[in-house]
Amino acid sequence: MLAIIGGTGLTRMQGLNVISSNKADTRWGEASGEILKGQLAGQEVLFLARHGHPHTIPPHKVNYRANIQALKDAGASAIIAVNAVGGIHPDCEPAGLMIPDQIVDYTYGREHTFFAEDLDEVVHIDFSWPYDEKLRQILIGNARSLDLAALEQGTYAATQGPRLETAGEIRRLANDGCDIVGMTGMPEAALARELDLPYACVALVVNMAAGLTDEIITMADIEKALHDGMGKVLDLLQASIKSYDEV
């Protein structure tokens, strides 16, 4: 069963016919909110709001371990994560989409692994390609079919937050080869890999990153991009849910 993790702007899944709603308590603590199980696009799916509903949990306080564990326990076989991001690559534009294929982790102080204590042996996962390629290709194929302008590869810079970055930090990220910047991509992706859950990201660009335009980044502009772009995200998710069930 496919699971959707909703980020900023997606705390409820439009069109989801909820069958059950369960508070998720794991050995790692409570998840960000209830795990919703329901029907979407004719398929059974799970949904979890990363920041809670309403949006109250900042990126550095999300219990990523509990979220991923709770989805696994609820029967998830793969995860599509939705992330609101800033655009660094010149081809990015507000309300545009990217399906990243790489990630660079700049976060710190987060509980980032299930394999930290009480181990029989040290565990090292292969994280060369952090996003599941089969799941990425489902998203890419459906974006093409829907005629959505989606960049089909790129590197996600995961920063600590909750503040936005400085112009100098964005220059550094660009020099490091990063194309988008967000605050929730890690350790979520790595934790999914640790539990053998295929994981891919739909990134919605909500602003151009600091220093790349003459404009000051405002929440009003971010909210407008969320409003303009979330319909594309929902269309892509619905089509991909159908495709996932077929493979």
pLDDT of residue 9: 60
Per-residue pLDDT of 55-80, as tens digits, reads: 789 999 999 999 999 999 999 999 99
Does 11 carry a binding-site annotation?
no
Q: Per-residue confidence at 11, pLDDT binned at 50, 70, 90?
A: low
Is 183 known to sit in a ligand binding site?
A: yes
Please indicate if the annotation marks 50 as binding a ligand.
yes
Asked whether the predicted pLDDT for residue 241 surpasses 80, the reply is yes
pLDDT at 162: 94
Would you say residue 177 lies in a domain?
Answer: yes
Domain that holds residue 200: 2-114+151-246
Amino acid at site 202: V
* pLDDT above 80: residue 41: no
Beta bridge partners of 87: 180, 208
Nearest 5°: phi and psi at 197?
A: -105, 115
User: 112: annotated binding-site residue?
Assistant: no
Strand pairing class (29-40; 17-26): antiparallel
Which of the residue ranges 27-31, 115-119, 180-184, 200-204 would you say has the lowest mean pLDDT?
115-119
Confidence of residue 142 (pLDDT cuts 50, 70, 90): very high
Q: Is 85 among the domain residues?
A: yes
Q: Is the residue at 68 inside a domain?
A: yes
Query: Which helix (H) or strand (E) segment is 241 a member of?
Result: helix 219-246
- Known binding residue 184? Answer is yes
31 has binding-site annotation: no
Does 138 fall in a domain? Answer: no
For the chain, the domain total comes to 1
Kindly state whether residue 233 falls inside one of the protein's structural domains: yes
How high is the pLDDT of residue 218?
77
Whether residue 14 is contained in a domain is answered as yes
**CATH number of the domain enclosing 85:** 3.40.50.1580
In this prediction, residues 201-228 reach a mean pLDDT of 86
**pTM, whole model, 2 decimals?**
0.92
**Domain annotation covers residue 187:** yes
Please calculate the CA angle 111-113-118 and round it to the nearest 5 degrees: 105
CA distance 235 to 225: 16
- 131 in a structural domain: no
- Residue 187's pLDDT band (cuts 50, 70, 90): very high
Amino acid letter, residue 124: H
Mean pLDDT over each residue of the chain, to the nearest integer = 90
| Per-residue pLDDT, 246 | 53
**Selection from 2, 1, 3, 5 nearest residue 203 by Cα:** 5
Question: What is the sign of the dihedral through the CA atoms of 154, 223, 233 and 131?
Answer: positive
